[in-house]
């Protein structure tokens, strides 16, 4: 049996006040860069999304249920630009970041 947490604590302490004033490890971020959760209804949803966002280089378009997709772009213009494109298309497209959740240990 080992105390994994104790080791982790020691390393955190190291990171917080190590030799030469080393600081905390950087925040790993709250979402996955270039990835979005997109909701669009319709049998042609995947096709429509490819048409809508193809210019940004679609690396991945994975269905997540009936109307939802994981979209990964090669070039991320930002969520507002993507929303504006969706609005201009006249289709009801919902966009959110692919957020990162941390284990609470």
Partner 1 sequence: MTKVCTAVLLALALLVVPARAGERPAAIANAPAPPPVPDELLVRFKAEATAAPASVAQRLGDRLQRALGARYAVMKLESGQTLADALAAYRAMPEVEAVQPNYRYRFLAVPNDPLYPQLWALNNDGQPVEGGTLAAAIPGSDLDMERGWDEITDCTSVIVAVLDSGVNYLHQDIAGNLWDGSAAGFPLHGYDFLDDDNDPMPADAFGHGTHVAATIGAVGNNGIGVAGVCWRAQIMALRIGDRRGATTARIVQAMQFAIEHGARIINLSLGGSEHDPAFEEEVERARRRGVLVVTAAGNEGADNDDGATPFYPCDFPQDNVVCTAALDQSYNRASFSNFGAVSVDVGAPGTNILSAWPGRVRADDLRGWVRTGGWTETVCNFNLGRLPALVNPASWCATPPGTYAAGANDVAYKAFDLAGVRHARAAFFRFLATEPDVDFLGYALSPVGGNPFAVGSLIALHSGSTGTRPIEESIDLHGCFTSTCTFGFRLQSNGAVADRGVAIVGLRIDTVEPNANAYAVLQGTSMAAPHVAGVAALVWAYNPRYTSADVRAALIEGGEPVGALAGITASGRAVNAFGALQYIAPPAGVAAAVR
- Contact residues toward partner 1 (CB under 8 A) are 1-7, 10-11, 13-26, 28, 30-32, 35, 37, 39, 62, 64-65, 68, 70, 94, 96-105
Beta-carbon contacts of 29 under 8 Å, excluding residues fewer than 6 positions away, are 100
**How near is the Cβ of 89 to partner 1 at its closest, in Å?**
20
- Is residue 48 within 8 Å of residue 90, measured between CB atoms? no
Contacts of 97 (CB under 8 A, 6+ apart): 30, 31, 32, 35, 36, 37, 79
C-beta of 38: minimal distance to partner 1 in Å? Answer: 9
**For residues 35 and 56, which CB has a smaller minimum distance to partner 1 in the complex?**
35
What residues form DSSP beta bridges with 56? Answer: none
Minimum gap (Å) between residue 12 Cβ and partner 1: 9
Q: Which CB, 91 or 97, lies closer to partner 1?
A: 97
């Amino acid at each position: 049996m080992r105390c994994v947490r104790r080791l982790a604590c020691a390393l955190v302490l190291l990171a917080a006040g190590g030799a030469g004033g080393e600081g905390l490890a950087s925040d790993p971020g709250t979402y996955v860069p270039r990835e979005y959760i997109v909701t669009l209804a319709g049998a042609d949803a995947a096709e429509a999304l490819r048409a809508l966002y193809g210019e940004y280089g679609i690396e991945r378009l994975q269905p997540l249920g009936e109307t939802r997709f994981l979209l990964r772009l090669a070039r991320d213009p930002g969520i507002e630009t993507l929303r504006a494109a969706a609005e201009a298309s006249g289709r009801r497209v919902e966009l959110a970041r692919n957020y990162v959740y941390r284990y609470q240990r």
